[in-house]
Amino acid sequence: MSDIRHFLDLDALDGGILRGILDQAYALKRAMKAGDRPPLLRGKLLAMVFEKPSTRTRVSFDVAMRQLGGEPIMLNRVDSQLGRGETVADTSLVLSRYVDAIMIRTTAHSKLIDLADNASVPVINGLTDRTHPCQLMADVMTFEEHRGPIEGRVIAWLGDGNNMATSWIHAAVRFKFTLRLGCPKRLKPPKSVLDWANAKGGDIILTDTSEDAARDADCVVTDTWVSMGDTDGEIQRKLLTPYQVNDQIMSLAKPDAVFMHCLPVYRGDEVTASVIDGPQSIVWDEVENRMHAQKGILTWCLGASVEL
Ligand code: CP
Ligand code: NVA
């Protein structure tokens, strides 16, 4: 088996490694707030390949690389040869000769795997149709900064059983918290993911009512009703309307429950403005932590770290 440190998914890495990545992220965040930016990745290059739009992932990786003394290189599908049919495998072989790591945001998860299988440098999953693991590292970090250790806590996911939901399931197993998913029957997370979590002893509860998911939760999370690449937008919007996070849903959760959302948000759809812009929302800290979490991921992938 390859000893390259890919960051492909939370189910592929053990809990100790993931906790170590978060410890680095916390340490680098503290250092930065104290005015110290250790150049752990001086001279390193990260290729960032985007086959879908991005604001946070793109900018947080870019800034994280620069603050660690390295540099990012951007490739969009349309202005690279990927857009003209060069294969993912060949792209991976090419980039591996130039850069120290590759981050990719793509459509089919199989493309991520193809890229990693052909790479001789670490590959990072910046979102696929199946998962979004970097986001979960920032989400766990943000919850813990506000509410303490996530182990044993109850997180309620309301909405589509999409790529974010799958990564939340992976995270629940790896970080040992309870995840209640309130999803329409037609938009449940993939059975294979639920089976994996059950086999690992995960505390995952699937319900089709928002109320049952949200009751006494420590955190309520949701995501857009229509993800990038979804083709049944109108059907999904209809199915997901009863899963909106609003003041009534938040009132069922614990009084000190927090609200999270990976963003971008569509106010009035998956969440009301009163919730996302209200006192329980921690989404802007969640945004900031994307950058700190990326530093933990990048330094782990490239074998650089600060003394803890
Ligand atoms: N949350 C997130 O991944 O945002 P972007 O799509 O803007 O990168
Ligand atoms: N589920 C969303 C997440 C965006 C960060 C999507 O895939 O579009």
**pLDDT by 10-residue block (mean), the chain, 308 residues:** 91 98 98 96 98 98 98 95 96 98 98 98 98 99 98 98 98 98 98 98 97 98 98 96 98 98 98 98 98 98 90
Q: Which of 6, 132, 174, 261 is catalytic?
A: 132
Q: Which of 58, 170, 290, 292 is catalytic?
A: 290
Q: Is 183 an active-site residue?
A: no
Distance CA 241, CA 12 (A): 33
Q: Which of 134, 183, 219, 262 is catalytic?
A: 262
Can you tell me which residue has the tokens 């690449």?
229
Instruction: Look at residue 170 in the predicted model and tell me its pLDDT.
Output: 98
State which of 224, 265, 283, 286 you would mutate to test the pocket of ligand 2, scoring each by most atoms of that ligand within 8 A of its C-beta.
224
Distance CA 297, CA 302 (A): 9
Distance CA 96, CA 61 (A): 18
Q: Is 105 an active-site residue?
A: yes
Gyration radius from the chain CA atoms? 19
Instruction: Look at residue 2 in the predicted model and tell me its pLDDT.
Output: 77
Say if pTM beats, i.e. exceeds, 0.95: yes
Instruction: Look at residue 1 in the predicted model and tell me its pLDDT.
Output: 53
Ligand 2 atom closest to Cα of residue 163: 1
Q: Is 223 an active-site residue?
A: yes
Q: Is 132 an active-site residue?
A: yes
From the CA of 263, the nearest ligand is 1
Can you tell me which residue has the tokens 């009301």?
272
